[in-house]
């Protein structure tokens, strides 16, 4: 049964953030809110939790997991980008964007795209997600909580607990957005829009 944690979306309670972070540290899989929509999250290199995400969402090995980061200092450890790309990213963050980029040597292989050696990264504009990353000291390995039998993501913590109580370790209630991120692939010569979502795609078209 998943632990239900009700965290204030604007002023997250440190005690509850620590409780959620400890569940992640202990190998747990959580559902947590972001500025786009709810995500499934676990710790870096947690093979068991990554497989649980694949099982829940019915994903294959080509799926790009996302590192949800507190800021650029966290992001810089796990993906490679130059100064010109940094300026592009900075103008779009924090916000509802996911960027597909070449993984660095610090990114565990188990969460990279098996063929391309890429990974998704993002910096959400959401106090709870940022507080979790701050408390953990590392990014949260994440995937949008979009179930294969659903046309849209689940939007409420209690709804997620009812649906996935038997496969999650914790669900955080904390006012999520309701549209998945806009996904931009920066691994080619030009930016490629993979998905148009909550973020304005215009700067990358």
Structural domain containing residue 103: 3-204
How many domains does the structure of the chain reveal?
Answer: 1
pLDDT tens for each residue of 141-200: 999 999 988 888 888 899 999 999 999 999 999 999 999 999 999 998 899 999 999 999
Q: How many CB atoms lie within 10 A of CB 137?
A: 10
The CA distances from residue 144 to 189, 196, 203, in Å, are 27, 14, 23
CA distance linking residue 143 with residue 135, whole number of Å: 20
Instruction: Name the pTM for this structure.
Output: 0.94
CATH number (domain holding residue 16): 3.90.870.10
117 torsion bin: left (phi>0), alpha (psi -120 to 50), beta (else): left
Report yes or no: 121 and 75 within 8 Å, Cβ to Cβ: yes
Q: Region 125-151: what's the mean pLDDT?
A: 94
Taking only the tens place, the pLDDT of each residue in 108-117 is: 888 888 788 8
CB atoms within 10 A of CB 146: 17
CA-nearest of 135, 69, 117 to 97 is 69
Tell me: the pLDDT tens digits for 63-101? 788 999 999 999 999 999 888 889 989 999 999 999 999
């Amino acid at each position: 049964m998943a632990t239900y944690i009700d965290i204030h979306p604007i002023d997250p309670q440190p005690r509850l953030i620590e409780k959620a972070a400890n569940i992640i540290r202990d190998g747990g899989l959580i559902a947590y809110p972001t500025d786009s929509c709810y995500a499934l999250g676990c710790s870096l290199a947690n093979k068991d939790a990554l497989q649980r995400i694949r099982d829940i969402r019915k994903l294959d090995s080509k799926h790009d997991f996302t590192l949800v980061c507190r800021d650029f200092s966290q992001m810089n450890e796990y993906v490679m980008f130059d100064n010109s790309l940094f300026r592009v990213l900075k103008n779009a963050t924090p916000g509802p964007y996911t960027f597909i980029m070449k993984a660095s040597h610090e990114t565990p292989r188990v969460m990279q795209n098996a063929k391309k050696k890429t990974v998704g990264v993002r910096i959400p504009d959401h106090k709870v997600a940022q507080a979790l990353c701050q408390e953990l000291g590392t990014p949260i390995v994440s995937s949008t909580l979009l179930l294969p039998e659903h046309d849209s993501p689940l939007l409420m913590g209690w709804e997620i607990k009812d649906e996935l109580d038997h496969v999650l370790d914790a669900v955080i209630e904390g006012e999520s957005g309701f549209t998945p991120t806009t996904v931009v692939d920066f691994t080619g010569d030009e930016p490629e829009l993979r998905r148009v979502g909550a973020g304005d795609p215009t700067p990358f078209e």
